[in-house]
Amino acid sequence: MTTHNAALPLRIVHLYPEQMNIYGDTGNVLTMVRRAQWHGYDPEVVVHRPGVAFPEDVDLIVGGGGQDSGQGLVADDLLALGDHIHGLADDGVAMLMVCGLYQLFGNFFETVTGERLDGIGIFDVATYGGPKRLVGNVRANTQFGEVFGYENHSGLTMLGEGQRPFGEIAMGSGNNGRDRTEGAIYNNVYGTYLHGSVLPKNPRFADALIEAAAVRRYGAFAPAQIDDQLAERARSRARQLGV
Protein backbone atom coordinates (compact mmCIF):
# COMPACT_ATOMS: atom_id res chain seq x y z
CA MET A 1 0.00 0.00 0.00
CA THR A 2 1.21 3.50 -0.69
CA THR A 3 1.42 6.11 2.05
CA HIS A 4 1.46 9.27 -0.02
CA ASN A 5 -0.98 11.06 2.31
CA ALA A 6 1.15 10.14 5.35
CA ALA A 7 0.70 12.04 8.59
CA LEU A 8 -2.56 13.67 7.54
CA PRO A 9 -4.82 13.21 10.55
CA LEU A 10 -8.50 12.34 10.20
CA ARG A 11 -10.66 12.47 13.32
CA ILE A 12 -13.49 9.94 13.46
CA VAL A 13 -16.17 10.39 16.11
CA HIS A 14 -17.92 7.22 17.23
CA LEU A 15 -21.34 8.15 18.60
CA TYR A 16 -22.67 6.34 21.69
CA PRO A 17 -20.83 3.01 21.28
CA GLU A 18 -22.24 1.55 24.51
CA GLN A 19 -25.90 2.21 23.70
CA MET A 20 -25.89 2.12 19.90
CA ASN A 21 -23.95 -0.82 18.58
CA ILE A 22 -25.77 -3.94 17.47
CA TYR A 23 -25.24 -6.46 14.69
CA GLY A 24 -21.58 -5.58 14.44
CA ASP A 25 -21.90 -1.87 13.70
CA THR A 26 -18.56 -1.17 15.39
CA GLY A 27 -17.09 -2.85 12.31
CA ASN A 28 -17.87 0.36 10.44
CA VAL A 29 -15.48 2.29 12.67
CA LEU A 30 -12.79 -0.39 12.29
CA THR A 31 -13.23 -0.32 8.51
CA MET A 32 -12.96 3.48 8.38
CA VAL A 33 -9.78 3.36 10.45
CA ARG A 34 -8.12 0.60 8.47
CA ARG A 35 -9.04 1.92 5.02
CA ALA A 36 -8.03 5.46 5.99
CA GLN A 37 -4.64 4.05 7.06
CA TRP A 38 -4.34 2.12 3.80
CA HIS A 39 -5.04 5.35 1.93
CA GLY A 40 -2.18 6.89 3.89
CA TYR A 41 -4.05 8.92 6.52
CA ASP A 42 -3.58 8.92 10.26
CA PRO A 43 -7.06 8.27 11.69
CA GLU A 44 -7.95 8.83 15.32
CA VAL A 45 -11.19 7.57 16.91
CA VAL A 46 -12.82 9.73 19.55
CA VAL A 47 -15.83 8.33 21.36
CA HIS A 48 -18.77 10.58 22.18
CA ARG A 49 -20.84 9.52 25.21
CA PRO A 50 -24.01 11.15 26.61
CA GLY A 51 -23.35 14.15 28.84
CA VAL A 52 -19.82 15.00 27.77
CA ALA A 53 -18.58 17.77 25.47
CA PHE A 54 -18.64 16.96 21.76
CA PRO A 55 -15.15 16.65 20.19
CA GLU A 56 -13.66 19.48 18.13
CA ASP A 57 -12.22 19.26 14.59
CA VAL A 58 -14.42 16.42 13.45
CA ASP A 59 -13.90 14.83 10.01
CA LEU A 60 -16.20 11.81 10.13
CA ILE A 61 -19.03 10.76 12.44
CA VAL A 62 -20.19 7.15 12.70
CA GLY A 63 -23.17 5.84 14.65
CA GLY A 64 -24.87 2.46 14.87
CA GLY A 65 -28.13 0.80 15.63
CA GLY A 66 -29.65 -0.02 18.98
CA GLN A 67 -32.70 -1.24 20.82
CA ASP A 68 -35.56 1.18 21.33
CA SER A 69 -34.36 1.38 24.96
CA GLY A 70 -30.84 2.33 23.83
CA GLN A 71 -32.29 5.06 21.62
CA GLY A 72 -34.16 6.38 24.68
CA LEU A 73 -30.85 6.67 26.55
CA VAL A 74 -29.14 8.82 23.90
CA ALA A 75 -32.04 10.84 22.43
CA ASP A 76 -31.77 13.80 24.83
CA ASP A 77 -28.02 14.12 24.38
CA LEU A 78 -28.42 13.98 20.60
CA LEU A 79 -31.16 16.63 20.70
CA ALA A 80 -28.84 18.92 22.66
CA LEU A 81 -26.23 18.45 19.92
CA GLY A 82 -28.74 18.95 17.11
CA ASP A 83 -27.77 22.52 16.09
CA HIS A 84 -24.09 21.64 16.17
CA ILE A 85 -24.56 18.50 14.06
CA HIS A 86 -26.70 20.44 11.59
CA GLY A 87 -23.83 22.92 11.24
CA LEU A 88 -21.35 20.11 10.62
CA ALA A 89 -23.67 18.43 8.10
CA ASP A 90 -24.15 21.72 6.22
CA ASP A 91 -20.38 22.18 6.24
CA GLY A 92 -19.92 18.82 4.48
CA VAL A 93 -18.75 16.61 7.33
CA ALA A 94 -19.18 12.95 6.31
CA MET A 95 -21.42 10.87 8.55
CA LEU A 96 -22.80 7.33 8.53
CA MET A 97 -25.81 6.58 10.72
CA VAL A 98 -27.19 3.05 10.87
CA CYS A 99 -30.71 2.00 11.87
CA GLY A 100 -31.43 3.35 15.37
CA LEU A 101 -29.31 6.48 14.87
CA TYR A 102 -30.56 6.87 11.31
CA GLN A 103 -34.05 7.04 12.83
CA LEU A 104 -32.92 9.69 15.36
CA PHE A 105 -31.25 11.71 12.59
CA GLY A 106 -34.78 11.97 11.17
CA ASN A 107 -37.65 14.01 12.55
CA PHE A 108 -38.89 11.51 15.13
CA PHE A 109 -39.29 7.84 16.05
CA GLU A 110 -42.64 6.85 17.51
CA THR A 111 -42.16 3.47 19.19
CA VAL A 112 -44.67 0.66 19.01
CA THR A 113 -45.72 1.51 22.59
CA GLY A 114 -46.54 5.08 21.51
CA GLU A 115 -43.49 6.76 23.03
CA ARG A 116 -42.19 9.52 20.81
CA LEU A 117 -38.47 10.20 20.57
CA ASP A 118 -37.73 13.45 18.79
CA GLY A 119 -34.86 13.35 16.31
CA ILE A 120 -32.59 16.10 15.04
CA GLY A 121 -34.12 16.32 11.56
CA ILE A 122 -31.00 16.04 9.42
CA PHE A 123 -33.12 13.80 7.21
CA ASP A 124 -36.73 14.64 6.45
CA VAL A 125 -37.96 11.22 7.52
CA ALA A 126 -40.41 9.99 10.15
CA THR A 127 -40.34 6.53 11.74
CA TYR A 128 -43.20 4.60 13.30
CA GLY A 129 -42.80 1.36 15.26
CA GLY A 130 -44.49 -1.39 13.30
CA PRO A 131 -46.20 -4.63 14.37
CA LYS A 132 -43.53 -6.97 12.96
CA ARG A 133 -39.80 -6.88 12.56
CA LEU A 134 -38.25 -6.54 9.13
CA VAL A 135 -35.36 -8.99 9.24
CA GLY A 136 -33.02 -10.37 6.61
CA ASN A 137 -30.43 -9.76 3.95
CA VAL A 138 -30.65 -6.64 1.81
CA ARG A 139 -29.33 -5.60 -1.57
CA ALA A 140 -29.84 -2.01 -2.64
CA ASN A 141 -28.82 -0.14 -5.78
CA THR A 142 -27.02 3.04 -4.83
CA GLN A 143 -24.69 5.62 -6.35
CA PHE A 144 -21.90 3.32 -5.11
CA GLY A 145 -23.26 0.34 -7.01
CA GLU A 146 -24.91 -2.60 -5.27
CA VAL A 147 -24.72 -2.35 -1.51
CA PHE A 148 -25.18 -5.51 0.58
CA GLY A 149 -26.21 -5.64 4.23
CA TYR A 150 -28.50 -7.07 6.85
CA GLU A 151 -31.54 -5.44 8.42
CA ASN A 152 -33.44 -6.01 11.66
CA HIS A 153 -35.88 -3.30 12.67
CA SER A 154 -39.50 -2.77 13.58
CA GLY A 155 -39.48 0.93 12.74
CA LEU A 156 -41.04 1.89 9.41
CA THR A 157 -39.47 5.01 7.95
CA MET A 158 -41.28 7.33 5.56
CA LEU A 159 -39.37 9.82 3.47
CA GLY A 160 -40.66 13.38 3.28
CA GLU A 161 -41.37 14.84 -0.13
CA GLY A 162 -38.07 15.64 -1.80
CA GLN A 163 -35.99 13.58 0.65
CA ARG A 164 -33.40 11.66 -1.32
CA PRO A 165 -33.10 7.95 -0.41
CA PHE A 166 -29.72 6.23 -0.09
CA GLY A 167 -30.75 3.52 -2.50
CA GLU A 168 -33.44 1.51 -4.19
CA ILE A 169 -34.23 -1.89 -2.71
CA ALA A 170 -33.47 -4.88 -4.95
CA MET A 171 -33.95 -7.39 -2.12
CA GLY A 172 -35.21 -6.90 1.41
CA SER A 173 -37.41 -4.23 3.00
CA GLY A 174 -35.33 -1.08 3.55
CA ASN A 175 -37.15 1.97 4.89
CA ASN A 176 -40.60 0.50 5.15
CA GLY A 177 -41.05 -2.62 2.99
CA ARG A 178 -43.44 -0.77 0.68
CA ASP A 179 -41.88 1.96 -1.44
CA ARG A 180 -38.59 0.18 -2.20
CA THR A 181 -36.52 3.02 -0.78
CA GLU A 182 -33.53 2.39 1.48
CA GLY A 183 -32.01 4.97 3.80
CA ALA A 184 -31.56 8.68 3.18
CA ILE A 185 -28.87 11.15 2.13
CA TYR A 186 -28.30 14.76 3.11
CA ASN A 187 -25.11 16.36 1.79
CA ASN A 188 -22.36 13.91 2.93
CA VAL A 189 -24.59 12.38 5.63
CA TYR A 190 -25.85 8.86 4.95
CA GLY A 191 -28.57 7.07 6.89
CA THR A 192 -29.21 3.39 6.28
CA TYR A 193 -30.88 0.35 7.81
CA LEU A 194 -27.99 -1.86 6.77
CA HIS A 195 -25.97 -3.62 9.43
CA GLY A 196 -23.59 -6.43 8.77
CA SER A 197 -21.55 -4.36 9.40
CA VAL A 198 -22.17 -2.54 6.13
CA LEU A 199 -18.79 -1.00 5.28
CA PRO A 200 -16.49 -4.07 5.10
CA LYS A 201 -18.62 -5.59 2.32
CA ASN A 202 -19.09 -2.30 0.51
CA PRO A 203 -15.65 -0.72 0.06
CA ARG A 204 -16.80 1.84 -2.52
CA PHE A 205 -19.21 3.25 0.01
CA ALA A 206 -16.54 3.22 2.73
CA ASP A 207 -14.06 5.02 0.50
CA ALA A 208 -16.65 7.61 -0.53
CA LEU A 209 -17.02 8.60 3.13
CA ILE A 210 -13.26 8.80 3.59
CA GLU A 211 -12.93 10.75 0.34
CA ALA A 212 -15.58 13.27 1.45
CA ALA A 213 -13.75 13.74 4.75
CA ALA A 214 -10.34 14.07 3.10
CA VAL A 215 -11.52 16.50 0.43
CA ARG A 216 -13.25 18.70 3.00
CA ARG A 217 -10.19 18.80 5.24
CA TYR A 218 -7.32 18.73 2.74
CA GLY A 219 -8.90 19.70 -0.59
CA ALA A 220 -7.94 16.42 -2.30
CA PHE A 221 -8.01 12.64 -1.98
CA ALA A 222 -5.39 10.40 -3.56
CA PRO A 223 -6.67 6.84 -3.10
CA ALA A 224 -4.29 3.92 -2.75
CA GLN A 225 -4.88 0.66 -4.61
CA ILE A 226 -6.46 -1.60 -2.02
CA ASP A 227 -6.77 -5.35 -2.44
CA ASP A 228 -10.51 -5.88 -1.93
CA GLN A 229 -10.61 -9.56 -2.83
CA LEU A 230 -12.15 -10.52 0.51
CA ALA A 231 -14.93 -7.98 0.14
CA GLU A 232 -15.51 -9.16 -3.44
CA ARG A 233 -15.75 -12.76 -2.23
CA ALA A 234 -18.32 -11.78 0.39
CA ARG A 235 -20.31 -9.91 -2.27
CA SER A 236 -20.28 -12.75 -4.78
CA ARG A 237 -21.16 -15.24 -2.03
CA ALA A 238 -24.14 -13.06 -1.14
CA ARG A 239 -25.22 -13.08 -4.80
CA GLN A 240 -24.86 -16.88 -4.91
CA LEU A 241 -27.11 -17.10 -1.87
CA GLY A 242 -29.71 -15.07 -3.73
CA VAL A 243 -29.27 -11.78 -1.93
Q: Where do contacts with ligand GLN occur on this chain (CB under 6 A)? A: 22, 65-68, 71, 99-100, 152-155
CB 241 within 8 A of CB 201: no
Q: What's 196's DSSP letter? A: S
- Is 155 or 196 the residue whose CB approaches ligand GLN more closely? 155
- Kindly state the smallest distance separating residue 109's Cβ from ligand GLN, in Å: 7
CB 40 within 8 A of CB 5: yes
- Is 169 or 213 the residue whose CB approaches ligand GLN more closely? 169
- Kindly state the smallest distance separating residue 22's Cβ from ligand GLN, in Å: 6
Q: What are φ and ψ of residue 154, in 5° steps?
A: -105, -20
- Kindly state the smallest distance separating residue 149's Cβ from ligand GLN, in Å: 11
Residue 133 labeled ligand binder: yes
The Cα 13–Cα 6 span in angstroms is 20
Annotated active-site residue 195? The verdict is yes
The Cα 239–Cα 20 span in angstroms is 29
Tell me which of 14, 39, 48, 99 is the catalytic residue: 99
**Among all residues, whose Cβ is closest to ligand GLN?**
65
- Is 109 or 144 the residue whose CB approaches ligand GLN more closely? 109
**In the chain, what is the straight-line distance between the N-terminal and C-terminal CA atoms, in Å?**
32
How far is C-alpha 100 from the chain's CA centre? 10
Extract the annotated binding site for substrate.
133
Active site residues: 99, 195
Extract the annotated binding site.
133
